[in-house]
Amino acid sequence: MKWIILIALLGSLGPLTMFLRSQPKYLLHACFFMGLLVFFLDPYLNISPITWRWTGAVRGFEVSILDVIALAIIFATPSTRFPAGLKIGIGIYVTAMLIATVNATQVTPALFSIWQFMRAILVFVAVARATAVVRDAPIALFAGLGMGLLIESLVAVKQYAEGNTQPGGTLGHRNLLGLLSHFAVMPAFALLLAGRRTKVTALVVAAGAIVALAGGGRATVGLYAIGLAVTMVLSMRHKASGRKSGIAGAALLILLLAAPAMLWSIDRRSEAARASSDQERSAMIRAARMIIADYPLGVGPNQYLLVANVGGYSSRADVAWNEANRAAPVHNSYYLVTAELGFLGLLGFACIFLSSIGVGLRAIKRLPVGERSDLAVGITASLIVAAAHLAFEWAFATYYVQYVLAMSMGAIVGITATLRQKAKKRIVGRVRVEERLIPETNRFA
């Protein structure tokens, strides 16, 4: 079955490319399904022809339907310019991965991790190109993410009703689902503040609240509220209005009224359980610090657990000897990146985030008022919140998070690319496209 699905995925690349090239309006649908399917790739839409029984997060040279869609979009669309800071950040990060791979105890699983990151780069480039060409492409992309989150919220409610007190939806873990929810909630809330697609966006924001409250993760609950506040501030910075002030005030009131529910969600775990969790997180950070001190160039991509356990770092740091702790990396993506890729990797990681957020912040005041600019506000807010959330999770090592980050960064790049395109005021065919964009539609209203 695995090989049949893999052949079908690869075989669809050519026909899909020709279809999108001849019918660019269907780039909307391609973007929508990229956003939707990122929640539902396992077990049949993410296939690995080579798989290892490995302790790390990446266990094979995987190929997913998102890779095929991304390649088809790249082959069917013209190139676009990328910010220098983002290219430098990606270049530094990839260089760090290659250098750390030389030091890796096991080279093959290190290559798995490099392969996964390059798949995310494909998605990043594809989304940037589609967004620069088709006006509604980012709207379609985040409509897909919003639809996926709506489905996940229903699955989480069902799981909770069946006795699972920490539901993670189809992703399996509440923290991973909570982290991904930010990328749908903040853009939806930014559109809601601007009075755009209010019914759908309100549902997505509500779905994010359901996921946060059902899962009960402290970071997810807290950053959900903080993320809404950040979105409000950025939205008002983009363009203040009485409507936004009214909706922002109503949202703040709802958050205040929901405070007891948030506290209940967090307090479902006993104080002893929360204290134990904090203690284990601290122990993991101690282990990561020892690894970083001994390996300033990194132990290699996808190697943390091997080195932490076999090298005795987890034992010396008093990480509890059980599967939940010894089979999980340090719950901080910044420490994890530094341990595996060294300080050079951390520099690249920080540059990628700072450059993407910087592009969004600069564009907020420059973009003309419209749906795309309001969406850019929400995307920028989601990147800020995700950067904070990754300080509490190792989830950056998963393809889920790398894919969604790539989508968000690509959308920001594509939206801001229109600032340069607008100045050209070119005429293409019979359609006057000052921004080289296909006219806006309401297909995803």
311 in any annotated domain: no
Could you please report the per-residue DSSP string of 185-207?
Answer: HHHHHHHHHTTSSHHHHHHHHHH
Q: Report the first-to-last Cα separation within the chain, whole angstroms.
A: 37
353 in any annotated domain: no
d(CA 5, CA 136): 31
315 in any annotated domain: no
149 in any annotated domain: yes
Split at pLDDT 50, 70, 90, the class of 442 is very low
Res 232: pLDDT? 95
Instruction: Write a three-state SS string for 3-32.
Output: HHHHHHHHHCHHHHHHHHHHCHHHHHHHHH
Domain count, the chain: 1
55 in any annotated domain: yes
Split at pLDDT 50, 70, 90, the class of 421 is low
Res 339: pLDDT? 98
Split at pLDDT 50, 70, 90, the class of 435 is very low
- Write down the number of H helices and E strands in the chain: 19, 4
H/E run at residue 395: none
324 in any annotated domain: no
Determine if the peptide bond prior to 260 is cis (ω within 30°).
Answer: no
- Contact 410/82 with Cβ under 8 angstroms? no
pTM over 0.85: yes
Domain that holds residue 75: 2-80+106-271+373-388+399-432
Give me the chain's average pLDDT, please. 91
Q: Which long-range contacts (CB under 8 A, 24 or more apart) does 349-354 make?
A: 349/89, 349/93, 350/89, 351/85, 351/86, 351/88, 351/89, 351/92, 351/93, 352/86, 352/89, 352/90, 352/93, 352/409, 353/89, 353/383, 353/387, 354/85, 354/89
d(CA 21, CA 74): 10
